[in-house]
Structure 1
């Protein structure tokens, strides 16, 4: 997770119940798997719950979202919703933690958008005109979990017709109305006129 775009998508993470031996580590979650060194790995976790375990409820079995040393970069984005630690009783056999069960609207788990190197080609003779209104919160982007990671956004000059709108960026596409829809776009460029 030492890369700023390391974002991971995990589904159906489950912590099975455990009984009278709470000391046993039964869930090593988010151990960086092979292939997690790519900058487009995105992690979306919802409804993280820790199932009950046996007779020692005093032990801290869920240290969730403790910021690891690898998450020290501002672009390492992890979206966690409704993180819950369920009560621990005397029935550890009950599976009460169905973690990251795909909620409604998350039925396309690969809707993940990462934008890098967005460039608008140069235009011309009126540099005073605001040609880049970037990241203006579009409709449907009013939720704190609509996360789009943009790097190296550049607007270069363009030709002699600055009045023409050549870059409508981040117009909320269909399917971006859900807070967990995340899209991966690379090298989005608008050619020069």
Structure 2
């Protein structure tokens, strides 16, 4: 309630309220007047012209051309992040197995892991005890990535080979430096 208003029912409204109300009434009057002038033209304005439709289709196409690659990139990064998390969990399960049994497992089945990576491919595991040099994953200098075990995903393309320098290995998600690095092979 404003300062100069009284509590009785016969009091006048505050001048600010009158101005606000009259502004709303003026806007409604202008809209009503314009609609009345458009009267016959209203029927012509209900449809869209071919040019307007083509402009809208073009804009939707441009937005799709921008949005689709961005969305695919986001999905790919999310899938790789999930694989990195899975590999961290597998590494933790391997550590627990090693503490309980005094040795590394022979396969991922020994720790109860059978889930594939985000692209439906199996995770690859190799215990370094007894593995030949040809079986071990190698860095750019052709040195083995790990001294305990190799763990990796073949990545989105599902193809891999032991040296990281090979083109088909660039998208692999690898474990290197005995677990100090888990990530994309091309960034290692």
TM-score range, shorter chain: under 0.3
Which TM-score applies when normalising by structure 2? Answer: 0.21
Of Structure 1 and Structure 2, which has the larger fraction of its residues in helix? Answer: 2
Considering Cα pairs closer than 8 Å and 6+ residues apart, tell me whether 1 or 2 has the greater RCO.
1
Which TM-score applies when normalising by structure 1? Answer: 0.21
